[in-house]
Structures are given as structure tokens and as C-alpha cells.
Copies of this chain bind each other. A is one copy, B any other.
Amino acid sequence: MAHKVYSSLDLAVADIPDGARIMFGGFGGAGFPNNLIQALSQRGIKDVTAISNNCGTKDGELGLMFKHNQVRHVIASFPGPHAHYFQERLAAKEVALELVPQGILCERMRAAAAGLQGFYTTVGVGTEVANGKEERVIEGKRCILEMPIHADYALIKAEKADELGNLTYRLAARNFNPIMAMAATTTIVEVEEIVPIGAIPPEHVLTPAIFVHRIVQAKGIRYAG
């Protein structure tokens, strides 16, 4: 059996190289892997491509990585007016931004997860989102071609993991986490609780173990910013 449980946050992120493409789960303050982000930032990683709905709040969530100028490229749907450090870095041209509609961000990640090579959508047609993208008419509708978004790592947050990596999420802290878990080569999850194998009923597993590569229990920052 593969051993997925890591004894510390630092070990769980120890090998993520500079320049990595990393997905970060979370939405609206809920379901952010805040402790993994702290560990990653403290390690002094740089030149990250971050894929995330938003760009943090001040020092909170991803904000920390912008504060320390560790992100070069962002793919996001709603960076957020309160993402002060991100906005500063963007104004200083220290970070590049690709804005993606939120549902399309999900679908592009899911396409990568599902081994699809691209899809057509009406979302974004005629807007700046369509710039540089192939456009065609399908059954009378103008569509653009959207490409998969894959990542080297996904940092996600779950409520419980069993030792195999089956996950559950609490309430609306689910959000992007299950999608990102599927779309990265290596998925690292911080959880509130590690439970014995078999403790999660098979019908209630929300992310099957096949998508989870490293598990670490985090007692620390649950909500940030």
C-alpha cells in the first residue's frame, strides 16, 4: 500500500520546485489550504504559476505569496479588490494575469482531469475573454475554443481523509477542491482529521483516493483574512 500520510506540512510541500504550476482550492474564505500555503511560502518558493479563483485577502490565503512576490503568473476568475498585494504586483507588472470566467475555469481544469483536449463554449464570446481564441459557429451559436488547464500540483483543503486518500468536505468548503484534486499530477490535501480506512462510507466519499497523493493533518489557520 502506498503511504500518503505526511507527518508535517513542510514535508508535504518540500519538493515543489520553483516555477511549478499550482492549483489552490477555496472560495469565499472557505476551503482554502491556508496551512499548506504558509508552508510553501515560508520555504521561499518562487516563480509560481497560480491557478485559483481569487488572489487572497491582504496577508491571507494566497495574499501571502503575493506579499513575498512568489507568483509570476496567475490564472483566476476573480482576483478580488481586497487582494492588495496581488493588485500591487499587477500594477508593478511583477505578475501576469489571465482572467477566466469562473465556470470555464472549472471546466478547463475538469477537461485536463478528464483527458479532453479542448471544448467549445458560448461563454465569453464577444468579450475580452475571447481575445486570441479560435471562434466558430456551432448550430447557429458563436463559440470559442477553450483549452484544458493542468497543474503540477494541487493544494487543497478537505474535512476528513482516510489513510488511502478518500476525502469529504464540509458544507460549502467543497467548492473548487474536488475539481483541482482531479486536475493535477500531484494533489496535496490538508485535512482537519485523518480517519481510519473504512470510516468514510463508500457512497459518501466525495473525492476518491485515486486523486489524492499526499495527506497532512493541519491544526492551524482555518480561515484567513
Chain A interface residues (CB < 8 Å from chain B): 107, 111, 114-123, 138-139, 141, 143, 168-171, 174, 202-204, 206
Residues of chain B lying within 8 A (CB to CB) of residue A202: 171
Q: Is the CB of A118 within 8 A of B119?
A: yes
Which B residue sits closest to A168, measured CB to CB?
Answer: B203
Contacts of A114 in B (CB 8 A): 107
Taking a contact as CB atoms under 8 Å apart, the answer to whether B122 and A115 are in contact is yes
| Bound-complex Cα distance A116 to B170 (A) | 29
Q: Which residues of chain B are near A206, meaning CB under 8 Å?
A: 203
Q: A111-B119, A117-B120 are in contact. List 4 more A-B contacts (CB 8 A).
A: A115-B123, A117-B139, A117-B143, A118-B119
Interface of A is mostly: mixed
CB distance from A86 to the nearest CB of B (A): 29
Which of A114, A118, A122 counts the most B-chain CB atoms under 10 A from its CB?
A118
Residue of A117, A118, A143, A202 with highest tally of chain B CB at under 10 A: A117
19 contacting pairs across A/B (C-beta < 8 A): A111-B119, A115-B121, A115-B122, A115-B123, A116-B119, A116-B120, A116-B121, A117-B119, A117-B120, A117-B121, A117-B139, A118-B119, A118-B120, A168-B203, A169-B203, A170-B203, A171-B203, A203-B204, A203-B206
